[in-house]
Amino acid sequence: MTSSHTVHFISLGCPKNRVDSEVMLGVARQAGYEHVGTPEDAEVIVINTCGFIGEAKKESIDTILEMAQHKDGGRCQRLVVAGCLSQRHPDELAAEIPEVDHFLGSSDMLRLKDILAGGAERMLVGNPAQWVVQASDPRALSTPGGSAYVKIAEGCNRTCSFCVIPDMRGKQRSRSEEDIVREVEQLAAGGVREINLISQDTVAWGRDLPSAGRTSLARLVEKVADVPGIKWVRVFYLYPETLGDDLIEVIAHHPRVVRYVDMPLQHAADGMLRRMRRGHGGDRLRRVVSKLRERVADLTFRTAFIVGHPGETDEEFEELCEFVRWAEFERVGVFKYSPEEGSRSAAMDALVPERKAESRHRKLMTLQRKIAHRKSTALVGRELEVLVEGSSDEHEYVLMGRHAGQAPDIDGQVYLSGGEARPGEMRRVLITQASHYDLVGELLDDDAPSPSPLPAARAKRVSLRVLQTDGRSSQSS
């Protein structure tokens, strides 16, 4: 054990939260704190919470209570709770969990510096619309291999009936193109090869910027993909409105933009889409899916659906199942409706019984699992480019990585055999076996010149404990 101050981080929820956690990791590092992998060795424990759905809130509270025990039986001197749950319920948490020393909201990441310096007040929950990450902010990467998330905007202007994200994160605030590209250049200089662009509503990026600084999402994606050293660019969370032909063209043809679309559709029946206040009907969804399939060869399409929303009839659920059969999505996340205080859905009648919602969830996942297995099996015998991430989580002597159709954390792995490879390398792999989610492949001899050693900055990555509780990881195909 070193003599420096020590800190342990837990990041709950979505990749957007992970970026915030990495910023706080950077703040802690600047303050002279060493990150440790176990809470028993930490003087400060920081939990970045999720408050998206009921399951996520329960996971956050359980984690807080678990970590609070280390104040009695470990080295922990300060317990810090940050993020969406703190933003939404600061007073309740403060009253019910006195073991927590400090609370930070969803936009207060940089104020961790004040806590670590000592003397900060307990409640540091500010206005959620006050901050969005910048290239100049400190950040310590935690993603494996040569991958990183880049958050291009914060907040959301949508009014979906089931969602309270605008309350927790504020209205949309887009970063400038210049600042985003600057951060990508910094990441590339540190060895990052894959950039994953994220925000709450990525297709709306830039609409809130002054007209003088406004540009298109397609141009932003191109400029990020053109940064030297970047090999893959992936775009997450596209809202299912009409996509511009320019963005589709970039996804379809730019050599460093992966042919992967993440577009949470939530449902397919007109009645349900109206209740959800999605602003469109099922016909638009079919047009968007068809257009993307026609224009983007070898597309991987990920989406997400809610079952059990108030008012969902048996006929509407069957319409959703038929839509999934028709679309044959490569990846689908399904989660049961969770009534969120303050949302429009929470005040609706015609509640769906829990048992029926669970049955619908199970049926839709069973349907999708068969589609996913068929899609995975079709890859056997193909040669794919794989980003090597490092040793397998299950066995240190087995390497793993991802092909372009597998997003970090949520889409499975390619387990590698037949040679050696380094994290961050892009290698050709012959796929030999397939399951519903994962693949097995053999590393092929690479006649290309060996890549230069990755920059020393790569050694600064930390192993961050990440628990995804927003229905995407544990319930995805």
Condensed to tens digits (0 to 9), the pLDDT of residues 317-358 reads 999 999 999 999 999 999 899 888 889 999 998 999 999 999
pLDDT of residue 477: 26
Given a cut of 70, is residue 464 above it in pLDDT? Answer: no
| Whether residue 419 has pLDDT greater than 90 | no
| Between 457 and 248, residue with greater pLDDT | 248
Residue type, 412: G
- Confidence check: pLDDT of 396 > 90: no
Averaged pLDDT of the chain: 89
Examine the domain organization and report whether 303 and 172 are in the same domain: yes
Q: Quick one: pLDDT band at residue 359, thresholds 50, 70, 90?
A: very high
Are 198 and 296 in a shared domain?
Answer: yes
pLDDT digits (tens, 9 = 90+) for 169-225: 889 999 999 999 999 999 999 999 999 999 999 999 999 998 866 789 999 999 999
The answer to whether residue 262 is domain-embedded is yes
Same domain flag for 289 and 334: yes
Residue 474 has a pLDDT of 30
76 annotated binding-site participant: no
- Same domain for 394 and 367: no
84 is in an annotated binding site: yes
334 within some domain = yes
Asked whether residue 139 is assigned to any structural domain, the reply reads no
- The answer to whether residue 472 is domain-embedded is no
pLDDT(2) > 50: no
CATH of the domain at 372: 3.80.30.20
The answer to whether the beta carbons of residues 7 and 21 sit under 8 Å apart is no
Write down which residue in 359, 377, 395 finishes a domain. 377
pLDDT at 473: 33
Q: What percent of the chain has pLDDT over 70?
A: 92
Q: Which residue has the tokens 């963005």?
A: 247
Would you say residue 451 has pLDDT above 50? no
Segments forming the whole domain that contains residue 345 = 147-377
Let me know whether 216 and 330 are in one domain. yes
Residue 390 and residue 361 in one domain: no
Widest CA span in the chain: 64
Domain-embedded: residue 137? no
Q: What angle do CA 56, 58, 64 make, to 5 degrees?
A: 105
Across 20-34, 231-245, 310-324, 447-461, least confident range: 447-461
Do 214 and 352 lie in one domain? The reply is yes
Q: Which of 132-146, 306-320, 438-452 has the highest mean pLDDT?
A: 306-320
- Region at 415 (left for phi over 0; alpha for psi -120 to 50; beta for the rest): beta
Judgement on whether residues 229 and 362 belong to the same structural domain of the protein: yes
pLDDT higher than threshold 90 for residue 104: yes
Structurally, the chain folds into a number of domains equal to: 3
Q: What are the tens digits of pLDDT across the range 49-91? A: 988 777 888 899 999 999 999 988 779 999 999 999 999 999 9
> Does the pLDDT value for residue 463 go beyond 80?
no
pLDDT value at residue 461: 58
CATH number at residue 411: 2.40.50.140
Does the pLDDT at position 155 exceed 70?
A: yes
What single-letter DSSP state applies at residue 200?
S
d(CA 227, CA 146): 15
- Contact status, residue 223 vs residue 250, Cβ threshold 8 Å: no
Q: How confident is the model at residue 386 (pLDDT cuts 50, 70, 90)?
A: very high
Question: Kind and range of the H or E element at 305?
Answer: strand 300-307
Phi, psi dihedrals of residue 426, rounded to the nearest 5°: -105, 120
How confident is the model at residue 274, as a pLDDT? 95
Q: Residue 156 annotated as binding?
A: yes
**Cα–Cα distance measured from residue 131 to residue 151, given in angstroms and rounded to the nearest whole number:** 12
Tell me, what's the pLDDT at 342? 86
Note the pLDDT of residue 1: 41
Confidence of residue 431 (pLDDT cuts 50, 70, 90): very high
Residue 321 annotated in ligand binding: no
Mean pLDDT of 293-302: 96
Q: Do 308 and 336 lie in a common domain?
A: yes
Q: Is the pLDDT confidence value at 143 over 90?
A: no
- List Cα–Cα distances, 227 to 182, 185, 188, 220, 455, in angstroms: 9, 6, 8, 11, 16
Q: Is residue 336 part of a domain?
A: yes
Report, as an integer, the average pLDDT of 158-178. Answer: 91
256, 260, 284, 273: which is closest to 320 by C-alpha? 273
Confidence of residue 458 (pLDDT cuts 50, 70, 90): very low
Asked if 373 and 393 sit in the same domain, the reply is no
Shared domain check, 293 and 229: yes
pTM of structure: 0.90
Confidence of residue 134 (pLDDT cuts 50, 70, 90): very high
In this prediction, residues 151-158 reach a mean pLDDT of: 94
pLDDT tens per residue, range 228-273: 999 999 999 999 877 889 999 999 999 999 999 999 999 999 999 9
pLDDT (0 to 100) of residue 468: 54
What integer pLDDT is reported at residue 145 of this predicted model? 77
Residue 457 has pLDDT above 50, yes or no: no
Per-residue burial over 238-256, b if 16 or more Cβ lie within 10 Å, else e, is: bbbeebeeebbebbbebeb
Contact in structure between 46 and 9 (CB atoms under 8 Å): yes
pLDDT for 476 equals 27
Does some domain include residue 142?
A: no
Measured in whole angstroms, the distance separating CA 227 from the mean position of its chain's CA atoms is 22
